[in-house]
Amino acid sequence: MTNLRTLDLNLLVVLRQLLEDRHVSRAGEQLGMSQPAVSRALQRLRAMFDDPLLVRTPRGFELSARAEALLPELSQWLDEAERLVSRPVFDPATSTQVVRFYGPEPEVGWFLPPLFERMRRLAPGMVLEVNSEPRDHFEPLERGDVHFVVTPFEPSASTAQLHSLRLAPLSLALVMSKDNPLAQGPLTLDRIAAASHGLVSLTGRGGGMVERDLIEQGQLSPGERLNQPLRLSSFASIPAFCERSDIVFRLPHRFAEELARGRNLVVRETPPQTTKEVTYAHLYWHERFHKDPMCRWIREQLKAGQV
């Protein structure tokens, strides 16, 4: 059996040209090789296959029986090898691929509808699959379950295999009942720290961004806990809880406005000092999809569709 590690693929390219042209000089012209170089390659091929391959006759070279049988298989094999190493082609107009996203509801509702609008116009056969169930945001990326994560959070572990793109800044606001004491009067850090807060816990761990920011501002001491009598695993029921209690949620402003529309709720801007720095949403993807042409196209469309 031939050892493939010793096989020179260049010889097979020369062989196909020789068998198609049945002429050493003409094959050399097609390959950009000299006639002596092609003749040497033919000698090596004859030794490799233990067959004359090209047989000289009064009419010129003719294919041996082995070469006749070999040519179609050789051409198919080399064509497949070329496809194997060539850059994959992505045509959005004909693609039926599924692109999978994970992210919390506010960011999904903000960034992905414009992307989907562009997909429906430019890639009507593609499918956008979105998962917002509570979990560690970056586990699906590590496992390869999704192509992208859109989130305001940062990975806590190593990011060596993750790529990211910063999206729009997230303006934060408080949403509460119109009857909540915080709905009226100055919105100070003292009043925010003393309020009853709700938390949408996506991971089931930690006290949330409000508690972290108040600790950083010195409003809470390290180890002190914010009053958080309500923890949810979904954003959908926030309006109902806020309307019937003194609970306050801090959410992206645009999402808070959508939740409050038509409800007995009010949305108030958070004081600038409640956050240490501007919060941005980010798009994350794993190294395994970094060069994938479909994923590159999706990133371009998401950037183009930002509003």
Alpha helices in 86-219 (DSSP H): 105-122, 139-143, 189-194, 208-216
What pLDDT, on the 0 to 100 scale, is given for residue 123?
96
| pLDDT at residue 218, rounded to an integer | 66
Rounded to whole angstroms, the Cα distance separating 307 from 304 reads 9
Domains and CATH numbers, the chain: 4-85 (1.10.10.10), 98-167+284-304 (3.40.190.10), 172-279 (3.40.190.10)
Check: pTM over 0.85? Answer yes or no: no
CA angle 250, 255, 258 (to 5 degrees): 120
Residues 48, 49, 51, 57: is their CA dihedral positive or negative? negative
Give me the residues of the chain with pLDDT under 50, please. none
User: Checking DSSP bridges between strand 265-269 and strand 247-252, what pairing results, if any?
Assistant: unpaired
What's the confidence (pLDDT) of residue 215?
65
Amino acid present at 248: V
pLDDT tens sequence across 79-98: 888 777 766 788 999 999 99
